């Protein structure tokens, strides 16, 4: 018998006999496939239960805003935790309801007119691009004009997908009620809820998860509070410029700037473009250029001065990461995804950095989970664990 017949045949499928780059690529490929599949399932699940998830996410943001006020009522004025939370939410409803009532009529009557002005301004820009020095053909412009017009008229796909959950008045009302009730319970018993969920994890992972959650909560509260302040400054700055130029719909423009400021980068561009187009239609090219200068000045002061100074390392995100998060969030979940993409990324960034040994907030220390919040023990509520 020849030696070649005695030798066992080698299986070409044996990883030990495959090129190492191929083995490494295969290992990464199936792991990436699993990650993408898990993310796809998560997006489908979020869309399926958006009536619950979106109001609860809003309640978390409201909790981040109101927690200092609730702490003041609870610790300084000796309010019970439940009464302090209920008082804060009721005051928020009164304030927001009063502002909406004050500006609602102007918004309703002025929004359609402002969008008509913006659309007319867009037509003027298109006409200049066609007849001016660039001499762009109509075929080249048609696609961009149609897309931009859809954004201004509210028929753009991202806006439509983002407002589908509010198409039904009953769903919208249910969402508001869930958000309000969730805010009350998160403010009154947030620590208990957080620790209860962490205690469902394996015991070795509980402490690190608790510490990572504390870091994420600090980033979330910093982002929400600073974003409200920055949005108000943007609205005042651009609104003041529009008032000086005597543009119509000043209040509507200021409210539009304030609301869109919560969508980083994209919102500022959209609201600034509307203000410039309104100035172009009402007062001509010179006023439009001045309005453009005002918008750019306000945005530069906000992005390079206010945000880095106010947020600091609490929300240490690269601008490219913010842009990618907004685009991906809006493409997957519409306007809701665009609104929550950056705060979710800020929380994940701080938590992951801590888990990998790069603690973004070493001053928080490693305090153990509050024993009074753990399941099976007597407890009387409290604020979210990250605030303790």
Q: pLDDT per residue over 214-235, tens digit each? A: 999 988 988 888 888 888 888 8
What pLDDT score does 69 carry?
Answer: 92
Q: Which of 144, 96, 152 is nearest to 271 (CA)?
A: 152
* Residues forming a β-bridge with 382: 189
Cα–Cα distance list, 270 to 25, 82, 174, 263, 383 (Å): 42, 41, 30, 10, 37
Q: Residue 318, SS3? A: coil
379: pLDDT confidence band, cut at 50, 70 and 90?
Answer: very low
For residues 278 and 121, is the Cβ–Cβ distance under 8 A? yes
Task: State percent of the chain over pLDDT 70.
Answer: 70
Measured from the Cβ of residue 119, the count of other Cβ atoms closer than 10 Å reads: 16
What DSSP letter does each residue of 326-353 carry, written as one string? Answer: HHHHHHHHHHHHHHHHHHHHHHHHHHHH
What pLDDT score does 381 carry?
Answer: 41
Taking only the tens place, the pLDDT of each residue in 136-168 is 555 555 665 566 555 544 444 444 444 444 455
Spell out the residues 6+ positions from residue 239 whose beta carbon is closer than 8 angstroms to its own: 250, 251, 253, 254, 257
Over 90: is that where the pLDDT of 304 sits?
no
Q: How far, rounded to the nearest angstrom, does the alpha carbon of residue 380 sit from its chain's CA centroid?
A: 32
Instruction: Return d(Cα 163, Cα 349) in angstroms, integer.
Output: 28
Q: Residue 382, SS3? A: strand
What pLDDT score does 70 carry?
Answer: 92
Cα–Cα distance list, 46 to 53, 57, 228, 309 (Å): 7, 11, 26, 34
Comparing 270 with 162, which gets the higher pLDDT? 270
Query: Max alpha carbon distance in the chain (Å)?
Result: 102
Measured from the Cβ of residue 176, the count of other Cβ atoms closer than 10 Å reads: 14
Spell out the residues 6+ positions from residue 300 whose beta carbon is closer than 8 angstroms to its own: none
Spell out the residues 6+ positions from residue 308 whose beta carbon is closer than 8 angstroms to its own: none
What pLDDT score does 232 carry?
Answer: 87
Spell out the residues 6+ positions from residue 264 whose beta carbon is closer than 8 angstroms to its own: 322, 323, 326, 342
Q: Vertex 221, ends 218 and 227: CA angle to 5°?
A: 135
Task: State percent of the chain over pLDDT 90.
Answer: 13
Instruction: Return d(Cα 365, Cα 330) in angstroms, integer.
Output: 36
Instruction: Return d(Cα 200, Cα 130) in angstroms, integer.
Output: 64
Instruction: Return d(Cα 296, Cα 327) in angstroms, integer.
Output: 22
């Amino acid at each position: 018998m020849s030696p070649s017949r005695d030798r066992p045949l080698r299986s070409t499928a044996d990883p030990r006999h495959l090129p190492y780059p191929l083995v490494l690529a295969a290992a990464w490929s199936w792991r990436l496939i699993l990650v993408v599949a898990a993310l796809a399932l998560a997006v489908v699940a979020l869309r399926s239960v958006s009536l619950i998830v979106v109001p609860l996410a809003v309640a978390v943001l409201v909790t981040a805003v109101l927690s200092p006020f609730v702490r003041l009522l609870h610790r300084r004025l000796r309010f019970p935790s439940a009464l302090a939370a209920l008082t804060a939410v009721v005051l928020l409803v009164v304030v927001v309801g009063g502002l909406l009532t004050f500006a609602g009529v102007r918004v309703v009557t002025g929004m359609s007119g402002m969008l008509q002005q913006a659309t007319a301004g867009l037509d003027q820009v298109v006409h200049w691009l066609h007849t001016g020095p660039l001499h762009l053909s109509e075929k080249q412009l048609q696609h961009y004009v149609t897309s931009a017009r859809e954004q201004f008229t509210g028929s753009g796909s991202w806006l439509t997908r983002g407002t589908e959950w509010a198409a039904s008045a009953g769903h919208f009302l249910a969402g508001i009620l869930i958000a309000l009730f969730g805010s009350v319970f998160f403010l009154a018993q947030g620590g208990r809820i957080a620790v209860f969920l962490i205690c469902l994890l394996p015991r070795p992972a509980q402490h690190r998860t608790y510490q990572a959650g504390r870091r994420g909560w600090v980033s979330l509260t910093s982002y929400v509070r600073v974003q409200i302040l920055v949005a108000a400054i943007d609205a005042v700055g651009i609104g003041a410029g529009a008032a000086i130029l005597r543009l119509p719909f000043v209040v509507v423009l200021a409210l539009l700037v304030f609301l869109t400021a919560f969508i980083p980068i994209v919102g500022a561009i959209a609201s600034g473009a509307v203000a410039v187009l309104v100035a172009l239609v009402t007062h001509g090219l010179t006023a439009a250029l001045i309005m453009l200068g005002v918008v750019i000045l306000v945005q530069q002061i906000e992005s390079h001065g206010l945000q880095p100074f106010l947020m600091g390392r609490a929300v240490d995100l690269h601008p490219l990461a913010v842009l990618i998060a907004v685009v991906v969030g809006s493409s997957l979940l519409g306007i809701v995804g665009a609104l929550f993409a950056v705060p979710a990324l800020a929380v994940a960034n701080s938590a992951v950095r801590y888990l990998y040994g790069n603690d973004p907030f070493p001053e928080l220390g490693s305090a153990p989970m509050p024993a009074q919040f753990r399941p099976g023990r007597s407890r009387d509520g409290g604020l979210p664990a990250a605030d303790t």
